[in-house]
Structure 1
């Protein structure tokens, strides 16, 4: 029933608006959370549910995920072992809590996996594997729309999102890349889709889906309740790229690296550093990675405030009720940082 109703939802009404700055800028100083074990190579995502926190290591050596007790961050266990057996993973792109269950995404296997806790509550075990339809190009992110449906970015360039059922079957595609680059739309859609790679999040309470571009400075807000679509373009503009042998090669800036839709706002980690600057720093041995800003928008995509951080971060977990932002810093041996808003 839910899938049938979703399929009948009218196409979003799009509105494109630019923003130049934020009305409020706030500097935040973080507290490094001490850990009792060294685990990480590239702590990319952090997700908190109740008294559990999971940190995803994008380049994990043996395991991709590490479970901690929250809020003291005492280590519990690691899972998502690297390997090619049915219960092992070839890669890890993202993790999502859904009630007491955790979903993981393996792009190299083109598979979503649901995990649940054992009787002790200390370990997560695989409970369900969803092999994604072959018509879906390499999947790099996902959200749960409901218990039966996933939303996945479409990297064919033809649309913006794929809607996929619990069996991994492609139900439909929606949206288009909101670019002004007519030449790329006409002749280089796969390269355009690569350049417009976006990180997404969805809040079922307000039915707001947000997408932020990894390159450039573009936020899209899809309100799936009233079928509106707002595109907010910042000073750095659309993702910049060149086409080489069918691939999109980035030439502009590193943009966003994570986004979270809360009940009242949209939080996004922003880098804003050009690839030229990153290259020059690398030559000097300066290898700092991540973004020093968290941008906050309202649910219509209007800028509210900009947080300037004392760490360079990649992933965030926002708790508005307690006024806490947890972040991951890939440059530190103790990579979990707590900020008070």
Structure 2
């Protein structure tokens, strides 16, 4: 088992990514620029099947993606390699990639990775680079093909999605817009949306700080044109249809991200919200925590790390189903064809779990 101390340290490291550069304003939202949701028409309890791995690789298994007969798991706080390739569904270990280090071919961090056209893209925020990797002819390893350096005026990117063959979508942490479209050379080509906050003062006076508080995880489905973003703090779900240019904002009972400033540091005052999201062909699935920072501080690392809920929304943002889980998880991969959810669990030496679900 991982120690609770490691879990607590990992949680703090995640929070530093969110609030480390907040510099001004406190937030206490009262009204919203979106549609409230309070409950789901259906609630189901899911039991996990723990996948037994024959090798110990992970310090903080954060993301999981599956394509055909391969599964890839990302380790957010790895000391050696950030990515690990497995056979699927057996989860036999094949190889690792994304070696940690400061040489030109190594990575200082990995925030996320995406599979697209049978290739893999990774994001290194510390180097401000996107890297494309391809599978070997045998399919049991990944090798580096190209690296794209992002423009200097794109503030520290903490997530990305692939829009098409030549374009990426990246959150805008300047606060000037919500997202940026960036071309395959790393150049900014379009700004999308705005932070949907009710805090007009922060929007006018402290946009970069506000943008960091609104850090969101995102996913894009090119088949239906839906881009979904879920806030790491608070409980806000945004759905952008990039084909018809519609935008839906859904806000849960925990409201928009909250923070205050103490001794020059931004301190979250609300809850840990979402930690992953996937847009399938028919729905949006998001991992939700809902744990208050007061409780996190009071428990001093004794709480399990992760979310115990998966919220399911329609592609237009209507709440559909809430899954209540028997394990705490961070990242998910959903296969609607087989009614399967694979997830990562940072609290165990066996970090991969499987849930089976019915129609929602």
Bin for the TM-score computed over the shorter chain: over 0.9
C-alpha deviations, 1:278-314, integer Å up to 9, x for none? 11111xx514100000000000111000000000000
Residues 285-296 of structure 1 aligned to structure 2 (within 5 Å) = 286-296=302-312
1:172 shift after superposition: 2.1
Distance 2:240 2:137 in 1: 39
CA shift at 1:132, angstroms?
0.3
Match among 141, 149, 156 for residue 167 of structure 2: 149
Deviation above 3 Å: which 4+ runs of structure 1? 243-248
- 3-state SS in 2 of match to 1:190: helix
| C-alpha deviation, 1:100, in angstroms | 1.3
Q: Tell me which of 272, 289, 293 is aligned to 1:275.
A: 293
Q: Which runs of 5+ in 1 are unaligned?
A: 1-14
Aligned pairs, number: 326
What is the aligned counterpart of 2:70 among 43, 52, 64? 52
Instruction: Spell out, residue by residue over 1:265-286, the C-alpha distance to the aligned partner (whole angstroms, 9 max, x if none).
Output: 000000000001011111xx51
2:122 maps to: 104
CA distance, structure 1, for counterparts of residue 231 and residue 267 of structure 2: 15
Instruction: State the alpha-carbon separation in 2 of the partners of residues 112 and 142 from structure 1.
Output: 9
Instruction: Tell me, yes or no, if the aligned pair for 1:190 and 1:247 is still in contact at 8 Å.
Output: no
**Paired residue for 1:179?**
197
Counterparts of 1:107 and 1:41 in 2: how far apart (Å)?
19
- Judge conservation of contact 1:68–1:76 (CA < 8 Å) in 2: yes
Give distance in 2, aligned partners of 1:330 and 1:120: 30
2:333 to 317, 322, 327: 317
Measured on the aligned residues, the alpha-carbon RMSD in Å equals: 1.3
TM-score (normalizing by structure 2): 0.89
* Partners of 1:246 and 1:190 in 2: CA distance: 14
Once the two structures are TM-superposed, the CA of residue 112 in structure 1 deviates from its matched residue by 0.3
Please say if 1:330 is aligned against 2:332: no
How many angstroms apart in 1 are the aligned matches of 2:64 and 2:255?
A: 28
Higher RCO by CA contacts (8 Å cutoff, separation 6 or greater): 2
State the alpha-carbon separation in 2 of the partners of residues 325 and 332 from structure 1.
18
CA distance in 1, matches of 2:317, 2:262: 33
